[in-house]
Copies of this chain bind each other. A is one copy, B any other.
Amino acid sequence: MQLVSEGREVSWSEGQSLSRSYYTSASIFELEFRKVVQNQWLLVDHISRIPKPGDFFLFDVGRENVIIIRQSDSEIGAFYNVCRHRGSRVCITREGSVKALTCPYHAWSYRLDGSLRVAPMMREGFEKQAHGLIPLHLRVFEGFLFINMSKSTPSQFETFVDRYRPWLEPAQLDKAKVVIRRNYPTTANWKLVVENFVECYHCGPAHATYSFVHDRLKLRALGAGMRSGSDNDIKKYGPILRAWEKTAIACGYPVGNFADGPDSESLQGGGRAPIGGERKTETSKGEPAAPLLGSFKEYDGGRTVAHFNPFSCLFVNNDFAVSVRFTPRSEAATDVEAIWLVREDAVEGHDYDPEELSFVWDTTLREDCVLAENNQLGVNSCVYEPGPHSYLEGRISDFIAWYLRKL
């Protein structure tokens, strides 16, 4: 595969990662931000963070800062945090609740829908309606907020989420609440962070907790979803998966797995599989950590996975859910944030223990942060050359082919 970047022709062969400049160059970052990041639906947070009109929070992506704000009981908006007057940030605090978005500099005041309400002492001919805050596309799915920075019409949101409806409906996550939020700022290029997340080849050596909790054969067969394991391991794991699927179907829960190829719009993947052994949920001992979510009536020990695109992933157990997002900030920095959700009526201390709930993924994400940073340090070397991938890293080639096509 050949493409021209910065006047140089860059080549990539399937079965290996990219060459050094892709992980280090500021100009490639600028380019890929426009071509790859900006046109994707990016999972940002959960609706429970801003329950009342006027509630807002700020979100950083690339060099941009975005205001996410609830406008009414039914509407939520997203705006660039840039005053239309002289460009000041309009919101200074990271989150809060406001009646209007009033710029602290000259008090230009915007309604919750972004339209300009007050701009004192402007000259004749000034048109308020032409100076509202600049919006981004925002949509909500199962309680999750997604933004899209596309300057033209973004890809269909319905197409983006519809396939996940049957998988996510039982958990009713729009009626869940976030009870834990953890940040893992990572000094590494976002593509190294994503490559880490789409293969489970490293799970054995680098994630003792995760490997202890999950069935080892499953991790090899579909540890990072379909297309991430070898045909041989998938074949071996088949009987175990099919046996569990019978239980799940008996409960009325969805089963199956899927993964898009590199020609797809968002490189999606997902499905359901058992955690492993007799485990009911993804905790250290496999014992429930919170009340059953949504319409779940019993534990089938399954976990639903939704890779919406390379920038976000959602894991849903019978009793709690975790979403993880990877937000590119610069060629050398990626924000990683995870949120843990339980039923909105669950009571801390009584119904759930935050430490138990977050143990597996918090441990795993801390480990991933260190792995990605050490990967970046080595890739910076002048002797780095992409080496060959193993059987368990096929999904990286999918990701790179998808990325290069977008670029």
Interface residues of A (CB under 8 A from B): 15, 17, 63-65, 80-90, 92, 102, 104-107, 119-123, 126, 131, 134, 195, 201-202, 204-206, 220, 230, 371, 374-375, 377-392
Residues on B with beta carbons closer than 8 Å to the beta carbon of A390 = 106, 119-123
A387's partner among B83, B92, B378 (CB-CB below 8 A) is B83
Residues on B with beta carbons closer than 8 Å to the beta carbon of A388 = 85, 122-123, 126, 131
- How far does the Cβ of A186 sit from chain B's closest Cβ, in whole Å? 14
Chain B's closest residue to A381 (CB) is B82
- How far does the Cβ of A303 sit from chain B's closest Cβ, in whole Å? 24
User: In whole angstroms, how far apart are the Cα atoms of A382 and B120 in the complex?
Assistant: 26
User: In whole angstroms, how far apart are the Cα atoms of A390 and B17 in the complex?
Assistant: 54
The answer on a CB contact under 8 Å between B387 and A104 is no
Chain B's closest residue to A232 (CB) is B121
Residues on B with beta carbons closer than 8 Å to the beta carbon of A205 = 102, 104-107
The answer on a CB contact under 8 Å between B383 and A134 is yes
Interface centre among A83, A123, A381, by most chain B C-beta atoms within 10 angstroms, is: A381
Chain B's closest residue to A367 (CB) is B104
Residues on B with beta carbons closer than 8 Å to the beta carbon of A134 = 383
- How far does the Cβ of A239 sit from chain B's closest Cβ, in whole Å? 21
User: In whole angstroms, how far apart are the Cα atoms of A155 and B386 in the complex?
Assistant: 30
The answer on a CB contact under 8 Å between B375 and A64 is no
Residues on B with beta carbons closer than 8 Å to the beta carbon of A383 = 64, 80, 82, 134
Residues on B with beta carbons closer than 8 Å to the beta carbon of A89 = 374-375, 377-378
Residues on B with beta carbons closer than 8 Å to the beta carbon of A105 = 202, 205-206, 371, 374-375
Residues on B with beta carbons closer than 8 Å to the beta carbon of A106 = 201-202, 205-206, 390
User: In whole angstroms, how far apart are the Cα atoms of A172 and B273 in the complex?
Assistant: 67
The A contact surface, by secondary structure, is loop
User: In whole angstroms, how far apart are the Cα atoms of A202 and B375 in the complex?
Assistant: 44
Interface centre among A220, A377, A387, by most chain B C-beta atoms within 10 angstroms, is: A387
A371 and B104 contact, Cβ closer than 8 Å, known pairs A123-B15, A381-B64: yes
User: In whole angstroms, how far apart are the Cα atoms of A168 and B379 in the complex?
Assistant: 40
The answer on a CB contact under 8 Å between A381 and B86 is no
User: In whole angstroms, how far apart are the Cα atoms of A380 and B134 in the complex?
Assistant: 15
A87's partner among B85, B201, B379 (CB-CB below 8 A) is B379
The answer on a CB contact under 8 Å between B82 and A378 is yes
The answer on a CB contact under 8 Å between B15 and A386 is no
- How far does the Cβ of A93 sit from chain B's closest Cβ, in whole Å? 11
Residues on B with beta carbons closer than 8 Å to the beta carbon of A382 = 63-64
Would you list 24 pairs from A and B whose C-beta atoms are within 8 A, ordered by A residue?
A15-B123, A63-B382, A64-B381, A64-B382, A82-B379, A82-B381, A83-B378, A85-B387, A85-B388, A86-B375, A87-B384, A87-B386, A88-B375, A89-B375, A89-B378, A102-B205, A104-B205, A105-B371, A106-B206, A107-B205, A121-B220, A121-B390, A122-B388, A126-B388
